[in-house]
Every structure is written in C-alpha cells, then in structure tokens.
Amino acid sequence: MNPVGLDVSELEPVSRRSTAEIVADRIRTAIMRGTFAPGAQLGEVDLSSRLGVSRGPLREAMQRLVAEGLLRSERHRGLFVRELGPDDVRDVYLARTAVERAAALQVLAGDRGTAVVALEIPLGAMESAAAAGDAVALADADHDFHAALVAASGSPRLRRMTEGLLVETRMCLAAFQQTAPPAAELLVEHQRLRDALRDGHTELLLDRLAAHMDDAVQRILAAMPGAA
C-alpha cells in the first residue's frame, strides 16, 4: 500500500488498452483454445459484427496476429488460421528450448528464490488439475509455469518471445486435445525443473529442460495425424 491507499496494480492502466489490442487478445485466445479450427477462414465482416467493432480496428488486430505467425494472410483471399505441421512442432520447441534455456541461466545468475516462489503457483494448479483430470486446466498450468520461468529472468524480450511461442504450443496441443496427456508424468517433470532450479544445479536444470522439451515434441508428434 502506498500513501494514496491504492494498490499500484490498480492505477497502472490509467488509460485502457486500444481496441485493436483487445480484439487481438480475444482472437488469440480463441485460436489458442481451438475455437477456430486450423485452416479456417476468418471473415472480416463476420468477426467485426460479432465482436461489435468496425473493420478498421479489427484489421489492425489481424495485422498483429499475422506478424505473430498465428494467422496467414492471402491477398484478396482472406485470413486463415495457420495449420501447424510436424516441422512446426519441432521448430516451436526448438525456439522454446533456446529461449527458456537462456531465461533459466538468467534466473540462476540472479534471484532464484523469488523465481521458485513464483513457480509454486502454477505447480499447485497443475497438481490440482492432474488430480481432477482436467486437461484444459493442466495445459493452462503448464503454460503459466513456463511463462513464470521466463518472466523471472527479467528479460522483456525473452518474455515476449515466449508469449508467442506458448500460444503456438497451445495451437499444437489443441489439435489432439482429445487424447489425455500423461498428467502425473508431466507434473513430475515440472517439479524436477523447480527442484534443479531451487538447488542451483545448472547443468541438471538445463538437461532436464531439454529433455522436457524433447518429451513434449515426441508426445505431440505421436498423437499427430500426419507426423513423419
């Protein structure tokens, strides 16, 4: 609490975000959740009327999503949800490994105590989700875990990259969300990541992180229709 008597987080967004940003977030989560199937066409008039905004801000939001790689734009054809193939899965995790490795090293070099504390929240959520068998909550917790890890690095750029990569990860997962993930195994893997981080075992942490990513790729590719 500060002298004004308000939590700083409340007065931070003195001016709320732009319409384009809100629209982009909405569509991004919709794509992430699998509401829009991969390859589906997104009509501008349809979306704009459904979201209650004009086509101007909507097009601005679309440009962002195209830049993020979530949408594919064909001139005078329309906007389509990108379809991720096996190569994309491997590439997403290759990039994630690179970014999260760097983030982990930064955390180890800095204040890893607060980082471990921050990781406990998604770990708790993951435990609950695993016990309840809630696949969506499990994916959310997984997402939050890695986001928290990178956020703890204090690097805005690593954070922003991870943000985009995690969305793509969710797109990959949404493709085969009917198959139940090995919740217990997933939980243990994340707990071991936290343990290695807490104890400051650099090499162990990096190895476990790489292995964790490889496992995920194998799991996804195994459940993917046209995987090589």
Longest dimension (CA), the chain: 61
Taking the CA atoms of 22, 16, 164 and 137 in sequence, report the sign of the dihedral they define. negative
Using CB under 7 A as the binding rule, whether residue 78 contacts DNA is answered as yes
Using CB under 8 A as the binding rule, whether residue 42 contacts its own copies is answered as no
Structure tokens belonging to residue 172 = 């990959």
Q: What angle do CA 77, 79, 82 make, to 5 degrees?
A: 125
Range in contact with DNA (rule: CB under 7 A) among 53-61, 96-104, 149-157, 196-204:
53-61
Using CB under 8 A as the binding rule, whether residue 102 contacts its own copies is answered as yes
**Pairwise CA distance, residues 201 & 196, whole Å:** 5
* Pairing assessment for the beta strands 41-42 and 71-74 based on DSSP bridges: unpaired
Using CB under 7 A as the binding rule, whether residue 39 contacts DNA is answered as no
Residues 67-96 that bind its own copies (CB under 8 A): 67-69, 73-76, 91-92, 94-95
Residues 123-152 that bind its own copies (CB under 8 A): none
- Which entry of DNA, its own copies, none binds 79, CB below 5 to 8 A by partner kind? DNA
Write out the residues near DNA by the rule CB under 7 A: 15, 18-20, 41-45, 53-57, 59, 73, 75-79
